[in-house]
Amino acid sequence: MFDNLTERLARVVKGLRGEARLTDANIQDALREVRLALLEADVALPVVKEFIANVRTAAQGEEVATSLTPGQALIGVVQRELTAVMGAANAPLSFATQPPAVILLAGLQGAGKTTTAAKLARLLREQKRKVLLVSTDVYRPAAILQLQTLAREVGVDFHPSAVGEAPVAIGAGALDFARRHYHDVLIVDTAGRLAIDAPMMQEIALLHATLAPIETLFVVDAMQGQDAVNTAKAFREALPLTGVILTKLDGDARGGAALSVRNVTGVPIKFVGVSEKIDGLETFHPERMASRILGMGDVLSLIEKAHRNVDQAEAAKLAQKVKAGKGFTLDDFKAQVLQMRKMGGIAGMMESLPAELARAAQTGAPNEKKLARIEGIINSMTPTERAKPEILKASRKRRIASGAGVSVQEVNQLLSQFEQTQKMMKMVSKGGMQKLLRGMKGVLPGLR
């Protein structure tokens, strides 16, 4: 989402290359470019003005260390101010109330409230909390059925509701049920509209008064741009918001909402939707997002994603197998491809890497379709062929290619990739980390 903004800010740094120090003149020129970059990214004008003023003040008082270039010094200031604009620190959900803790989700239709309710329920279930989901959207029958289906998928309880019931009565009934069945959290999905209207705001305000939620979260589509600001203002006036959930952050919009909504609502961004998958909701870390926008990557989030999605037992088993010198088979190779796809595939991993490393890695990295084809080719092999790929001659390759719906050339390419990976695994088993890094230059051309 932030690709254009990242590129513009990178040009700002290049423009300062060759300068000996930060001066009023070069700060002014650089900030003009930063201002244009933010406006192009659809950041709200009042937010841009305040941000530029803060950066100018901080940059003029910045002591440039001898080890830093003026561009690096300015980027350091921009990073700190970007972090401050988006919230300065991660703000966890509050559960400081007698159970059940009620979480009310509000927002326009199409913002992704229903899916977000299920994603949030999944996160809380992983934290060992007993969760109940309920839909008060009696205007869109599919919404109730959708939430019921998603509740089953994520493994949490669902309180039934129906068209014709009053939203306040549904909410009160769900709260009573949650109390009697010892639920820790009640997540309430509310009705959205195509635009802000008075009856909608009155209804949700009454629901809020009835349920007294500990958290009232405004769900906003990150692709809305300037419209998100007007929506945020309306909901802030109608409800005592406690946080924001930004959805569709994986889209190709300019990302201005991410930088505007915190300033407009006055409440922190607590979660971001990073994919349509049910596990595509992440805790929001302002400092990490600022690093991603500036092309520095977000390696911490990548590590956390790996811990969540990678089968640690399988990884340990493979490491032990390689260490014992038992060899790396095509079944092992397929398992690694599956693990990568669980982490969001190549694209999901690249967006968390620093920009330069991501570009270098993408040069030689397979795309998502290729990962799927790799899996299909290996599935077309017999167990013996996977264990002993050296027996794969022309006739076998033709059979495998036909079974996987690919060309023989693609089968050969897979075997070549496998051999490279196999060599790397052998180097690791012999403790040759330097040899491994030298070998990776062929896979990641930008690696030094």
40-94 confidence digits (pLDDT tens): 777 778 888 888 888 888 777 655 544 456 666 777 777 788 778 777 667 788 8
Asked whether the domain spanning 303-440 has the same topology as the one spanning 3-86, the reply is no
Q: Where are the domains of the chain?
A: 3-86, 101-296, 303-440
Fold of 303-440: 434 Repressor (Amino-terminal Domain) (1.10.260)
Which residue type sits at 192? Answer: G
- 249 pLDDT more than 80: no
Can you give the pLDDT at residue 70? 63
| Residue, of 366 and 415, whose pLDDT is higher | 415
Can you give the pLDDT at residue 109? 81
Over residues 167-194, the mean pLDDT reads 92
Rg (CA), the chain: 26
- 137 pLDDT more than 80: yes
> Would you place residue 128 in the very low, low, confident or very high pLDDT band (cuts 50, 70, 90)?
very high
- Per-residue pLDDT reduced to its tens digit, 281-339: 888 887 777 766 665 544 444 444 544 555 556 555 555 655 554 567 788 778 777 76
Q: Average pLDDT of the chain?
A: 75
- 211 pLDDT more than 80: yes
Considering only the top CATH level, what class is 3-86? mainly alpha
In Å, the largest CA–CA distance within the chain is: 73
Determine the Cα–Cα distance for residues 133 and 118; give it in Å rounded to an integer.
8
| Residue, of 185 and 236, whose pLDDT is higher | 185
| Residue, of 17 and 241, whose pLDDT is higher | 241
**% of the chain surpassing 70 pLDDT:** 66
Can you give the pLDDT at residue 118? 94
Over residues 382-392, the mean pLDDT reads 88
Can you give the pLDDT at residue 11? 67
> Would you place residue 374 in the very low, low, confident or very high pLDDT band (cuts 50, 70, 90)?
confident
CA angle, corner 411, sides to 407 and 416, nearest 5? Answer: 140
> Would you place residue 1 in the very low, low, confident or very high pLDDT band (cuts 50, 70, 90)?
very low
Task: Provide the CA 315 distance to its chain's centre, in angstroms.
Answer: 24
Over residues 146-165, the mean pLDDT reads 92
Closest of 369, 421, 419, 376 to residue 401, by C-alpha: 376
Can you give the pLDDT at residue 178? 95
Can you give the pLDDT at residue 441? 45
Can you give the pLDDT at residue 5? 63
Strand partners, 273: 281
| Residue, of 39 and 65, whose pLDDT is higher | 39
**% of the chain surpassing 90 pLDDT:** 20
Superfamily of domain 101-296: P-loop containing nucleotide triphosphate hydrolases (3.40.50.300)
- 447 pLDDT more than 70: no
